[in-house]
Amino acid sequence: MTIGTKRFTFENGDWWEVYEEKIWRAQRAVAALSKKQLRLADAKVNLETGKLVGEVSIDPENWDPEALDEALLLNSTLKWSYSPSVTAEILGMIPAGHVHQVIAWIDQEYKKADPLAIGASANGSEKTSSLRS
């Protein structure tokens, strides 16, 4: 199995390599964190279809888009020049400009194949709010 990668090289010589498409680990990490940030007021699972139906909205008290970005970045990064390890601690020390460039690319590229990014859901739920702008 071979998954393509995208390498960013920055002016200062640092580099960062991510998967070209969202991998399952990244999708699961973001989904698990997202569940903690949602309100499922009238939502329920349709037992016949297995789909989530009803109103799903973002819980403003728990909304943390940077945490979602961090989960996506950490689980989409193959390697980088900042350290041999890919950890939240190292991510916290990376220049913000580098982080913003990588997350902007991920947002654009992963959206192409990610129904959650355009207001639907992976399992076909209805009336779902998009978690990523």
Convert 37-69 to b/e letters by CB count within 10 Å (16 or more is b): bbeeeebeeeeeeeebbeebeeeeeeeeeeebb
pTM: 0.71
Mean pLDDT by 10 residues, the chain (133 residues): 92 97 92 80 81 78 86 96 97 97 94 56 37 39
